[in-house]
Amino acid sequence: MVEGAPTRRGDVTADRRVLLRLTGIVALGYGLGASIQAAYVYSNLIPAWQDVSVWARVAANVLAVLLLVGALWAMGVYRWVSLARILGGLVLASVVAAGGRTAAQELLSVYSNPERATIEAEFVAGLVLALVSGCIGVWGMSARRRSRAHLRRAEREALEVEHVLEALEAEEIRVRREVAEGLHGSLQGKLVVVNAHLDEVLGRLVERGADPDDVETLRRVRDELDVVRELDVRQMSRLLYPERLELGLVPAVRALLGRLPTAIATRLTVAPEVRTVDDPVQGTLSTAQRLLAVRVVEEGVTNALKNGPAATIVVALAVVDRALVVAVENDGPSPDPSRGSDPDGGTARLASRLHLVRGTVRLEALRPRGARLEARLPL
């Protein structure tokens, strides 16, 4: 069994081209070389054969090549899978080519009154020439089939990996959404109930004239719980699953920029192609891709706030060469290239995540000041 048998449209044509072309080229080279060599040797060693035309020998060998290639084509050897069957077809085609070559030599008077031994020798020589040429053609076809099989195996494995990644992304998004809803709903609700009980206890303590220090401590605990409920829990919920992500990437980015301090000017530019792929109903952008793009914006905003006071943050969304390009620029201090990148930093972790989906991220310094974080996410 030959590996990589034709399975797709166009495979048979490719195998036929390789087999017939390679066999024909090799056989023609052998035939022309043998014709020239034989004519030269015979004309110098056997004076009686000086009048034999080299063109007659060339014509006989060209006919043999045509018969060999034609027989392989007529039998459809390039369609066969079994190696034994292919070799059997090659032997039959070689016999046809050798017989045609011998007959053509007699018709073209390459030999005058040849002996039986001469005819047999020419037949065997033509048979060997055809078999060697055909074997080289079969080898080329088999090599192409093996290469095709390996390539398609790699394609299937890559597709399986992609499906696994998609399943993991879907599961991650589901868990994120559930945890975010739990934080925003159940946990916040319980904290509200605890806060109400604390107010009730505080009221009774005041009525009974409890120690003012104890009352004040309890009030601080209640206020701390309010801060945790309103800020920490809500912020954690947003980090797990950004607001308005179900509505699209653009609304989620707008919500993210809207939470920044008013002292920082923000601007969001969106290319028309992004609005098309980000349409909640007919768009092709998946929730996982939207989440990853929002993470890029969050990292760019974090860098702007962490590295120094930035007065302006600009976010640009575009589609370039079938990839979503997310760019975040700020006019704060430029990053120091001599410090290198932190392997445990947010940008490095983001780069690892993008690498899984064949994406890239790059942080570069702007002149005279500022920084630009740009990520490309294949669509």
Of 136, 158, 180, the one marking the end of a domain is: 158
Is residue 376 helix, strand or coil?
strand
How large is the average pLDDT for residues 106-122? 78
Residues 266 and 331 in one domain: yes
Residues 17 and 51 in one domain: yes
Residues 121 and 181 in one domain: no
Residues 6+ apart with CB under 8 A from 185: none
pLDDT of residue 231 exceeding 80: no
Residues 189 and 53 in one domain: no
Tokens describing residue 323: 């990839």
Among the residue ranges 69-73, 232-236, 288-292, the one predicted with the least confidence is: 232-236
Residues 252 and 371 in one domain: yes
Question: What is the pLDDT at residue 92?
Answer: 93
Residue at 229 is within a domain: yes
Provide the residue range defining the domain that includes 280.
245-378
Residue at 265 is within a domain: yes
Cβ(125)–Cβ(112) below 8 Å: no
Among the residue ranges 6-10, 140-144, 280-284, the one predicted with the least confidence is: 6-10
Among the residue ranges 40-49, 217-226, 368-377, the one predicted with the least confidence is: 40-49
Q: Which residue has the higher pLDDT, 330 or 213?
A: 330
Residue at 2 is within a domain: no
For residue 270, what are the β-bridge partners?
317
Question: What is the pLDDT at residue 232?
Answer: 60
Residue at 1 is within a domain: no
Of 132, 158, 184, the one marking the end of a domain is: 158
Of 224, 240, 256, the one marking the end of a domain is: 240
Q: Which residue has the higher pLDDT, 174 or 353?
A: 353
Cis-peptide, bond into residue 6, ω within 30° of zero: no
- Band (pLDDT 50/70/90 cuts) for residue 174 is low
Tally of domains in the chain: 3
Indicate the pTM of the whole model: 0.52
Quote helix, strand, coil % in the chain, to nearest 5.
70, 10, 20
Residues 124 and 40 in one domain: yes
Residues 256 and 295 in one domain: yes
Residues 264 and 236 in one domain: no
Whole-angstrom distance, CA of residue 350 vs CA of residue 331 = 22
**pLDDT tens, position by position, 4-57:** 556 666 888 888 899 999 989 988 888 877 777 666 655 565 555 555 567 778
Residues 261 and 221 in one domain: no
Residue at 63 is within a domain: yes
Residue at 266 is within a domain: yes
Residue at 221 is within a domain: yes
Whole-angstrom distance, CA of residue 295 vs CA of residue 100 = 74
Residue at 146 is within a domain: yes
**pLDDT tens, position by position, 98-113:** 898 888 888 887 766 7
